[in-house]
Amino acid sequence: MNLQQNNEDLLDGGRRLPLVEDFYTIQGEGFHTGKPAYFIRLGGCDVGCRWCDAKMTWNPKLFPPTEVDTIVERACSYPAQAIVITGGEPSLYPLDYLTDALAKKGLQIFLETSGAHELSGHFDWICLSPKKQQPPVPSVFPKADELKVIIETPGDFAWAEENAAKVGERCRLYLQPEWSRYDGMIEAIVEYAKGNPQWNISVQTHKYMRIP
């Protein structure tokens, strides 16, 4: 049984989800940088980025299914107007129940995804961060509001362009330095954006602010 099938049986069609953590913070990356947002981080990822800063999320068995109604109720006890669903890889799960419940509360719903699996659910903003070892499924590209490509080596600029050619015309384009390679890569990233101004730069500002 694959990971996705296993999830659908265990999780009652998305009424329960494997929750790693939920917390109120400031969106640190990409288009919505600086916006207060409540984060819902789901466990489980089968993409396996070497430099992933959320490796503790990878094994979904460590995160028992949590009632989505409880998660939504907790989110509503904060003044947040925006919710970021992240992980782990949220596209592993049926997200309609969660996003319907959040939308009923009038909250804006943002998604962080590698696009490795077909998406379910309804989102006000989708940030697609494609990964070479498991590229996005084709159906995700036209849904992306924001393409955020992690730059670890000079070869990643070509990967960024490959993905930019697949997203819609209005999709915002971001280059984001891999955190541990920041010093080595930031100069090249700045020069690349200056020469190719369709690209903007995203840095992980929450790590400078020392907030989650």
Ligand X SMILES: Nc1nc2[nH]cc(C(=O)O)c2c(=O)[nH]1
Ligand Y SMILES: C[S@@+](CC[C@H](N)C(=O)[O-])C[C@H]1O[C@@H](n2cnc3c(N)ncnc32)[C@H](O)[C@@H]1O
Question: Site residues (CB under 6 A) for ligand X?
Answer: 25-29, 54, 86, 112, 206, 212
Q: For residues 73 and 210, give the distance between their C-alpha atoms in angstroms, rounded to a whole number.
A: 27
Please give the radius of gyration of the chain, using alpha carbons only, rounded to the nearest integer. 17
56 touches ligand SF4 by CB under 6 A:
no
In this structure, what are the phi and psi dihedrals at residue 199, rounded to the nearest 5 degrees?
Answer: -95, 135
- Angle in degrees, 0-180, between the axes of helices 68-75 and 96-104, rounded to the nearest 10: 30
The least distance separating ligand X from the CB of residue 93, rounded to whole angstroms, comes to 15
The answer to whether 27 is a known ligand-binding residue is yes
- For ligand Y, the binding residue among 80, 89, 107, 192 (CB under 6 A) is 89
For 3, the 3-state DSSP assignment is helix
The least distance separating ligand X from the CB of residue 31, rounded to whole angstroms, comes to 11
End-to-end, the C-alpha distance of the chain in Å comes to: 34
Residue 135: both structure tokens together: 């590229």
The answer to whether 131 is a known ligand-binding residue is yes
Any idea which residue has 């998660």 for tokens? 71
- For ligand Y, the binding residue among 148, 171, 173, 189 (CB under 6 A) is 148
Any idea which residue has 């947002």 for tokens? 37
The least distance separating ligand SF4 from the CB of residue 42, rounded to whole angstroms, comes to 10
Give the CA count within 13 Å in the CB-facing half-sphere of 27.
25
148 touches ligand SF4 by CB under 6 A:
no
For residues 32 and 131, which CB has a smaller minimum distance to ligand SF4 in the complex? Answer: 131
Q: Which residues bind ligand Y (CB under 6 A)?
A: 45, 51-54, 86-87, 89, 112-114, 129, 148, 150, 176, 178-179, 204
Q: Which residues bind ligand SF4 (CB under 6 A)?
A: 45, 47-49, 52, 54, 87-89, 114, 131
